[in-house]
Structure 1
Amino acid sequence: MPRFALRRLSLDRFRSQLASVDAMPQLCLLGIFAGILTGSVMVLFRLLLKLGAFFFMPGGNPEAFEALPPPIRALLPLIAVCLIGVWLWPQPSRALKMGIGHVIERLAYQQGKMPLRNWINQWWVGVISVIGGLSAGREGPAIHLGSAASSWIGSRLRLPHNSLRVLVGCGTAAGISASFNTPIAGVIFAMEVVMMEYTIAGFMPVILASTMGALVSWGIYGAEPAFSVPPLQLSSLMDLPGIVLTALVVGLLAGGFVRLAQGHPAVTRLPFALRLALIGGLTALAAWWYPQVQGIGYDSIDRMLNASVTLDVLLALAVVKLALTAICMAGGVSVGIIGPLLVSGAATGALMGALGAMLWPSVVDTPALYAVLGMAAMMAAALQAPLAALLALLELTRNTEIMLPGMLAVVVAVMTARQLCGCQGFFMSHLAQQGLHPLQQPLMQALSRVAVPAVMERNLARTPRVIDHDRAKSLLDAKPTWLIIIQDDKAKPPLALKAANLARVLHDDAWLAEHPQIDLEEVPGQRLELAPVHLEATLSEAYDTLNESGVEALYVEHTTAPMIRKISGIITREAIENYYRRKR
């Protein structure tokens, strides 16, 4: 029994430490566990893809659609959408949200708490969409599965919600790291796209998680990147106009992709079954002639970088694969988009490089350079994540000489998509209809990093509304800062009174003579109506609760046993605002 009590005490202390913005050692420990768990989930996901391909794909290769007869490869997407539809059709619309966009939404509006049903659906849709021949990647499912698994750690331990946010970032970084063997790009992607903040306390656990995710993946699949990139460099400054033109085309395609993925009302209003039929039918039609548009497409990137690919195939990969991925998203099948974006960007770059080599052979002699730059430019433009794209370029090529043209291509593509196409980034565009993203607001961003226990006033005493003089003196013996007045009517919220107000009247003999029983609602002083907030909540949640309930203070409660709740502290609007001013 004492050992159990000691263990609970240690966990309570751990939770209390995590509530602070400076809980770096504790967050780093969580980052290690999150990275190992996410890396293991990613390995399991890839094994499921391999297992599914073993039954009908040549050589058990989930990318070998080109080796299948045209009728078979055209039939696969139709079967895939049927399987996805049968699984998802009975479920509510909220359960259909999956992928990176769902992770960002839950982080922004639910403090990183991830629903189990969506997590289970992601396994099914992620595996079926890839081996079923839809234009889909594995990175989106990996990030969702890893982030939700990491968040599960925090939920099971009932950790403060500010640490759940960091765990989601850890799962995101480890998912990207384990997918591409690009741990640095995983860190930047998590901070730039998902968490949208750069702090030391946030960076450290995410770096550890990304490292652990990569190590788990390396232990199973080796340390090589997702695809082989030959040594490349900018051979002449005369290539720069062609690189700028390529980035301009990539930016326009990225902007068109985001617009198409948002969905036209004529499509989004269709019944779910018809949308699935549209997705499956268009994919089957394209796959009959161009099987390269199916699946992830990393084998196509290998061929573009290390061999020759015909112009019609490059055009199909650049335009048709991109469009099919966007139609999947618009139709309600949340597939991974990062892999298809990289394939389409590489095909666009390779196509521009091939055309340049035909029109200007004395200058453009390495079309593969344009393909690699096209990958980075497409990822940066569609996601509005230039730093993540540049670091992915660096880690995939392991070549610093390519960074100069890479920076130029990324900037031109991002500006083109943003200024000419009005592209805010694929994931942010889906949240734009809900108003300004909470994590784009400096106040809410700062308050989301800290949990309520770090700021609340713990020195308080609970008391009924009416007490005698002796009870009043005994209450003050503990020197509380606040008195929490519990109303006789349980439906009424408790009130908060400064203990100093009660102490003042206890020294007023005339007032005590008139009041043999002290009604705390008649004691001179300001009383604050209280609303409840949970001990695990962040300051941003507390601030929202204050605004929604119209009160000036909250009482902090937590469950100590089934159906038993304890008041742990009180937090005022003034305390939250003072914390924000102090930390700015």
Structure 2
Amino acid sequence: MSRFSRSDFTLESFRRQLANVEALPQLCLLGLVSGVITGALMVGFRLLLTWGATLYMPEGNSEAFEGLPNWGRALLPLLAVLLIGLLLYRQKPSARKLGVGHVIERLTYHQGRFPRRNWLNQWWVGVVSVLGGLSAGREGPAIHLGAAASSGLGQQLRLPHNSLRVLVACGTAAGISASFNTPIAGVIFAMEVVMMEYTIMSFMPVILASTMGALVAQVLYGAEPAFQIPDISLGSLLNLPWIVATGLVIGGLAGLFITVSRSQRIIDLPLWPRLALVGIATGVVAWWYPQVQGIGYDSLASALNGQLAMDVLIALVIGKLLITALTVAGGVPIGIIGPVLVVGASTGALSGLLGGVIWAEKAADPGIYAMLGMAAMMGAVLQAPLAALMALLELTHSPHIMLPGMLIVVVACLTSRQCGGGEGFFVSTTRNGLHPLQQPLMQALSRVSVPAVMERSFARTPRMLTFFQAKRLLETNPVWLVIERSSEEKPVLAFKAAELARWLLEHDEAPAESEERESGMIDLLEIPGQRLEMAPISLQATLSEAFLALQKDSLGALYVVHGYRPKQKRISGIITRGAIERYYHYTDARETEIGPRQGP
């Protein structure tokens, strides 16, 4: 039986294990820690909203804009955009990126590493946008705060970048889970919207993180679902055609939302006219219909229970949809998931009321349509049908609603793709028509870090050395020789040790002349053989980073740098284009071989 040594439990060993694709136990441990951290942050964010509401909101309720005087709730959005403009837009453009879109960007182009300034900005911008009466949700801030904090844990421990990607997904899932008490929907959202892939190695840590996020939130807020859903059923299947029609309408509204939020005419306006437009439009609508302000969960609960008048429903469908999209186009970084759910539920409730007028005998309760509309709008705007269906199931606790739910979500998603440009709200950046996270090769290479495939057998040597030094150099049987240059401007070169061994064998002379040859010098740049120009790459980097570096600079190889201080850096290994290709082809062949055998 093999025994564990103390070195197996060191942080350095933990990092090496995480570099491989099989590091499932280590990733699961990180998922547990990430879920606890994100759940605690989400609780803290909700407490900030509660404490802020006690300053001026009726009964300290962050959703009670109806209790404020008309002038007060109309003035709040103007004050909110003024504060955001003064404090946020004085910072550099990169510091203004917040929310889910920022999470996806950092995961796609920065290996899941987050700037601290953006994370700090997300706290106060999230609170100001919600309590300031803008149409904004708390899920976007929760996802950013959780994903960045989880990634920050990995950065502090100097974990390889492939594990940072999983930590980002863990923080995302736990943020959604803690917001709605929907752990399954959190997992699917993280995989479908952020990671854009489904793998066992990612699923298990994300599931654990989502579970822990929900548990931490339940300690303070209880295990009750986010909304109290009435006990109602669809009834007659004759409602299905009307559900399809509702899905078409919701898909069109989702396309309108995406189109307005990306309106170049609004985006190109100067800063202060943009912010003024957002504040004035929100204030004007809120003067008569304060339900459009804030997250709107109180209005959502009322729509599900059939307690909203028709004019309020219309204001929520049109007013909240347009001012939310206008706020996004105006450059105010807000969470959109909460407002989208409110708009969808209101549209569904309106459709249910109209269906009752047309066919009172067979029409289902408007609450059913409100539930379906909520899921359809979420799925259509985000292009995340599975996440929307899981949210519907967990929020309603009604399995019988899944059949019409699948129908309306698919119809709405297809309609939105036609009306809104064929992509979800958060996936707005494409490269050659394909988002980088959707490229199979880059997905496969991003799951592994360079220590998993780098060649560790090498020897460092100066360009000039004697015969005796050359022979001593080969005694350890290195695969590569790293030729160090006389200045930093000259590239470091890699040379096959076998080429030097062959040259020494060919030039091995008679014993009488050997002493004379031992004193001569060998120029490693003059020995026949292929020499590869190399550039440095971090030990934490993924194979996708290495692949892109080799493609970009037309290099033959990379030397892996270990150490975090300039004077302590050392070379840990060499990675070539061939090593990456061999890994990818071997993984692809292995997955093809074992794929058909998966299952019961």
Q: Report the TM-score, using the length of structure 1 for normalisation.
A: 0.97
Could you tell which deviates more after superposition, 503-512 or 531-540? 503-512
1:145 offset after TM fit, Å?
0.5
Could you tell which deviates more after superposition, 500-509 or 62-71? 500-509
Q: Give, in whole Å, the separation in 1 of the partners of 2:582 and 2:435.
A: 24
Could you tell which deviates more after superposition, 504-513 or 556-565? 504-513
Deviations 1:130-176 (A, max 9, x none): 01110000000000000000000011111100000000000000000
Q: For residue 554 of structure 1, give the secondary structure of its aligned residue in structure 2.
A: strand
1:351 offset after TM fit, Å?
0.4
Q: Give, in whole Å, the separation in 1 of the partners of 2:191 and 2:565.
A: 37
1:7 offset after TM fit, Å?
8.2
Q: Give, in whole Å, the separation in 2 of the partners of 1:256 and 1:54.
A: 36
Give runs of aligned pairs for residues 384-403 of structure 1, distance below 5 A. Answer: 384-403=383-402
Question: Aligned AA for 2:380?
Answer: A
Q: CA RMSD in A?
A: 1.5
Is residue 303 of structure 2 the alignment partner of residue 304 of structure 1? yes
Q: Give, in whole Å, the separation in 1 of the partners of 2:567 and 2:144.
A: 33
Give runs of aligned pairs for residues 334-373 of structure 1, distance below 5 A. Answer: 334-373=333-372
Q: Which residue of 1 aligns with 2:12?
A: 12
Q: Which residue of 2 aligns with 1:374?
A: 373
Q: Which residue of 2 aligns with 1:461?
A: 459
Q: Give, in whole Å, the separation in 1 of the partners of 2:177 and 2:420.
A: 30
Question: Aligned AA for 1:355?
Answer: L
Q: Is the 8 A contact 1:162 1:538 kept in 2?
A: yes
Deviations 1:28-71 (A, max 9, x none): 11111110000000000000000110010111000001111111
Q: For residue 562 of structure 2, give the secondary structure of its aligned residue in structure 1.
A: strand
Give runs of aligned pairs for residues 18-33 of structure 1, distance below 5 A. Answer: 18-33=18-33
Q: Which residue of 2 aligns with 1:576?
A: 580
Q: Which residue of 1 aligns with 2:189?
A: 189
Q: For residue 563 of structure 2, give the secondary structure of its aligned residue in structure 1.
A: strand
Give runs of aligned pairs for residues 424-435 of structure 1, distance below 5 A. Answer: 424-428=423-427, 430-432=428-430
Q: Is the 8 A contact 1:261 1:329 kept in 2?
A: yes
Deviations 1:371-404 (A, max 9, x none): 0000000000000000000000000001100000
Q: Which residue of 2 aligns with 1:100?
A: 100
Q: Which residue of 1 aligns with 2:326?
A: 327
Q: Which residue of 1 aligns with 2:412?
A: 413
Stretches of structure 2 lacking an aligned partner (at least 5 in a row): 1-5, 589-600
Q: Which residue of 2 aligns with 1:451?
A: 449
Q: Is the 8 A contact 1:96 1:332 kept in 2?
A: no
1:420 offset after TM fit, Å?
4.1
Q: 1:246 to 1:524 in 2, by over 3 A?
A: same
Question: Aligned AA for 1:101?
Answer: G
Q: Is the 8 A contact 1:63 1:296 kept in 2?
A: yes
Question: Aligned AA for 1:332?
Answer: G
Give runs of aligned pairs for residues 123-134 of structure 1, distance below 5 A. Answer: 123-134=123-134
1:510 offset after TM fit, Å?
5.2
Q: Which residue of 2 aligns with 1:537?
A: 541
Question: Aligned AA for 2:370?
Answer: A
Q: For residue 426 of structure 2, give the secondary structure of its aligned residue in structure 1.
A: helix
Q: Is the 8 A contact 2:380 2:409 kept in 1?
A: yes
1:72 offset after TM fit, Å?
0.8
Q: Is the 8 A contact 1:560 1:566 kept in 2?
A: no
Q: Give, in whole Å, the separation in 2 of the partners of 1:81 and 1:153.
A: 32
Q: Give, in whole Å, the separation in 2 of the partners of 1:278 and 1:457.
A: 58
Deviations 1:328-356 (A, max 9, x none): 11111110000000000000000011111
Q: Give, in whole Å, the separation in 1 of the partners of 2:381 and 2:97.
A: 20
Question: Aligned AA for 2:316?
Answer: L
Question: Aligned AA for 1:322?
Answer: L
Question: Aligned AA for 2:441?
Answer: L
Question: Aligned AA for 2:465?
Answer: I
Deviations 1:449-506 (A, max 9, x none): 1101001001111000111111111111111111100012232111101111111122
Q: Is the 8 A contact 2:328 2:334 kept in 1?
A: yes
Question: Aligned AA for 2:418?
Answer: Q
Q: For residue 136 of structure 2, give the secondary structure of its aligned residue in structure 1.
A: coil
Deviations 1:252-288 (A, max 9, x none): 0001101111122x21122212211111000000000
Q: Is the 8 A contact 1:232 1:399 kept in 2?
A: no
Q: Is the 8 A contact 2:306 2:349 kept in 1?
A: no
Q: Which residue of 1 aligns with 2:217?
A: 217
Q: 1:489 to 1:562 in 2, by over 3 A?
A: closer
1:523 offset after TM fit, Å?
1.7
1:563 offset after TM fit, Å?
3.1
Pick one of 462, 465, 478 that aligns with 2:476: 478
Is residue 153 of structure 2 the alignment partner of residue 153 of structure 1? yes
1:411 offset after TM fit, Å?
0.7
Q: Is the 8 A contact 1:20 1:450 kept in 2?
A: yes
Q: Give, in whole Å, the separation in 1 of the partners of 2:71 and 2:457.
A: 73
Q: Give, in whole Å, the separation in 1 of the partners of 2:8 and 2:237.
A: 65
Could you tell which deviates more after superposition, 177-186 or 321-330? 321-330
Q: Give, in whole Å, the separation in 2 of the partners of 1:459 and 1:43.
A: 50
Deviations 1:209-243 (A, max 9, x none): 00000000000101112211112322001111110
Q: Is the 8 A contact 2:239 2:364 kept in 1?
A: no
Give runs of aligned pairs for residues 55-204 of structure 1, distance below 5 A. Answer: 55-204=55-204
1:431 offset after TM fit, Å?
1.3
Is residue 530 of structure 2 the alignment partner of residue 526 of structure 1? yes
Q: Which residue of 1 aligns with 2:554?
A: 550
1:446 offset after TM fit, Å?
0.6
Q: Give, in whole Å, the separation in 2 of the partners of 1:489 and 1:146.
A: 45
Q: For residue 531 of structure 1, give the secondary structure of its aligned residue in structure 2.
A: strand
Q: For residue 192 of structure 1, give the secondary structure of its aligned residue in structure 2.
A: helix
Question: Aligned AA for 2:543?
Answer: L
Q: Is the 8 A contact 1:455 1:575 kept in 2?
A: yes
1:434 offset after TM fit, Å?
8.0
Query: Aligned pair count?
Result: 577
Q: Give, in whole Å, the separation in 2 of the partners of 1:427 and 1:358.
A: 37
Q: Is the 8 A contact 2:49 2:62 kept in 1?
A: yes
Q: Is the 8 A contact 1:382 1:423 kept in 2?
A: no
Question: Aligned AA for 1:302?
Answer: A
Q: Is the 8 A contact 2:250 2:344 kept in 1?
A: yes
Question: Aligned AA for 1:438?
Answer: P
Q: Give, in whole Å, the separation in 1 of the partners of 2:111 and 2:194.
A: 12
1:9 offset after TM fit, Å?
7.8
Q: Which residue of 2 aligns with 1:490?
A: 488
1:440 offset after TM fit, Å?
0.9
Could you tell which deviates more after superposition, 304-313 or 430-439? 430-439
Give runs of aligned pairs for residues 279-318 of structure 1, distance below 5 A. Answer: 279-318=278-317
1:435 offset after TM fit, Å?
5.3
1:319 offset after TM fit, Å?
1.5
Q: Give, in whole Å, the separation in 1 of the partners of 2:488 and 2:97.
A: 39
Is residue 446 of structure 2 the alignment partner of residue 442 of structure 1? no
Q: Give, in whole Å, the separation in 1 of the partners of 2:275 and 2:496.
A: 61
Q: Is the 8 A contact 1:143 1:175 kept in 2?
A: yes
Q: Give, in whole Å, the separation in 2 of the partners of 1:473 and 1:291.
A: 83
Q: Is the 8 A contact 1:263 1:331 kept in 2?
A: no
Q: 1:251 to 1:392 in 2, by over 3 A?
A: same
Q: Give, in whole Å, the separation in 2 of the partners of 1:65 and 1:433.
A: 43
Q: Give, in whole Å, the separation in 2 of the partners of 1:268 and 1:218.
A: 40
Q: Which residue of 1 aligns with 2:240?
A: 240
Is residue 503 of structure 2 the alignment partner of residue 505 of structure 1? yes
1:437 offset after TM fit, Å?
1.6
Question: Aligned AA for 1:22?
Answer: E
1:432 offset after TM fit, Å?
3.0
Q: Give, in whole Å, the separation in 2 of the partners of 1:524 and 1:494.
A: 18
Could you tell which deviates more after superposition, 498-507 or 511-520? 511-520
Could you tell which deviates more after superposition, 544-553 or 188-197? 544-553
